[in-house]
Structure 1
Amino acid sequence: MLKHPLAKFFALAAVGALSQAAMAFDGTINFQGDIIDATCSVAPSSQNKTVQLGKVVSRKFTGTGSISTPVDFSIDLLDCDTASAKNAQVTFSGTADGENLAIANSGQTVAAATGVAIQLKDSTGKVIPMGKASSQYILGNGTNSLQFKANYFATKDVVTVGPANGMAQFTVAYN
């Protein structure tokens, strides 16, 4: 037994210091995010999506302006509050195919298809040129699914075979 009062204090201090060594850190977790004032938020499943346009036979394109069968896709909005805005418009941007204002084919290979671009349309089938706002979509409170269509669009009289991929970013504006 320790008889001196300071000896007990030093013994307790030593035990305390040793117990801290047993609780060493193994890593760090950083938390990040933003609190925003927005009418809606884009659903995570809509932030980075792939729309499969499928395999289209080249003879389907009978000349400049001919199209493939449109494929439906959506951009889903969450937590919408119509007290802030009643409508939304979507603007697509990216590399446009010349005067056609459609998404340029970026096949990424030497053998990429030529004479074709990707055309975007709103839910009624109206073409949405690159860099231009879509028609207005009426919003409801909560979740909203904005419907679109995409198809291949012949930009020349002859379409050659190969990958016909494209990419566009989008921005949602509320009013």
Structure 2
Amino acid sequence: MLKHPLSKLFAFAAVGVLSQAAMAYDGTINFQGEIIDATCSVAPGSQNKTVQLGKIVSRTLTGLGSTSTPVDFTIDLLNCDTASAKNAQVTFSGTADGTNLAIANSGQTVAAATGVAIQLKDSAGNPIKLGVASPSYILGNGTNSLQFKANYLATKDSVTVGPANGMAQFTVAYN
């Protein structure tokens, strides 16, 4: 009688071992992050974003210093605690055009637009130079959306047509 329950146990064990062998790995998921000591954390959707400046008619940029209509974008901060800091400033960096005021056009094709750069502005519409901190944004506890603008800026009297793309990194400082 003992032989029968023992054989059932061995049968179940054998099925379990064989079913493990049938499961194969189809891929790997890597998880990345960092635990920081800061007033806020940058929302994941703000860490790597794309701002669409649109298709701008070349005659809109009528000469040196002329601009396209600004496009709004935000950098969202999460879990802010104003006990340690009340304000945030954002510093943008990247490849600058010749005047260091704006982001250089990084169009990678032979037909890339020329005479144009991408200008960054604060929420009031004032230009922000690359490498220079923005004006202070007052923080509240919880979630905060820092408002910015971007537009094309003519860096020469004439602008040629083609892709006009750029990239900037940003750093948030709290005070």
User: What is the TM-score when the length of structure 2 is the normalising length?
Assistant: 0.85
Counterparts of 2:139 and 2:19, CA distance in 1:
52
SS in 2 for 1:166: coil
Alpha-carbon distance, 1:154 to partner: 0.6
2:90 equivalent in structure 1: 90
Alpha-carbon distance, 1:45 to partner: 1.2
Alpha-carbon distance, 1:61 to partner: 1.6
Task: Write the letter of the residue equivalent to 2:37.
Answer: D
Q: How does 1:25-174 map to 2 (within 5 A)?
A: 26-27=24-25, 32=31, 33-174=33-174
Distance 1:57 1:34, change over 3 A: closer
SS in 1 for 2:128: coil
Identity across aligned pairs (percent)?
A: 75
Tell whether 2:17 aligns with 1:21.
yes
Alpha-carbon distance, 1:101 to partner: 2.3
SS in 2 for 1:98: coil
Structure 2: tracts of 5 or more residues without a match: none
Distance 1:2 1:122, change over 3 A: closer
SS in 2 for 1:99: coil
Counterparts of 2:104 and 2:57, CA distance in 1:
19
Aligned Cα root-mean-square deviation (Å): 2.4
Counterparts of 1:95 and 1:113, CA distance in 2:
16
SS in 1 for 2:162: coil
SS in 2 for 1:153: strand
Contact 1:100/1:155 (8 A) holds in 2: no
Task: Say how many residue pairs are matched.
Answer: 171
User: What is the TM-score when the length of structure 1 is the normalising length?
Assistant: 0.85
Distance 1:45 1:2, change over 3 A: closer
SS in 2 for 1:89: strand
Q: Deviations for 1:22-47, whole angstroms, at most 9, x for unmatched residues?
A: 46374497774433222111111111
Counterparts of 1:13 and 1:164, CA distance in 2:
70
Task: Write the letter of the residue equivalent to 1:21.
Answer: V
Task: Write the letter of the residue equivalent to 1:146.
Answer: L
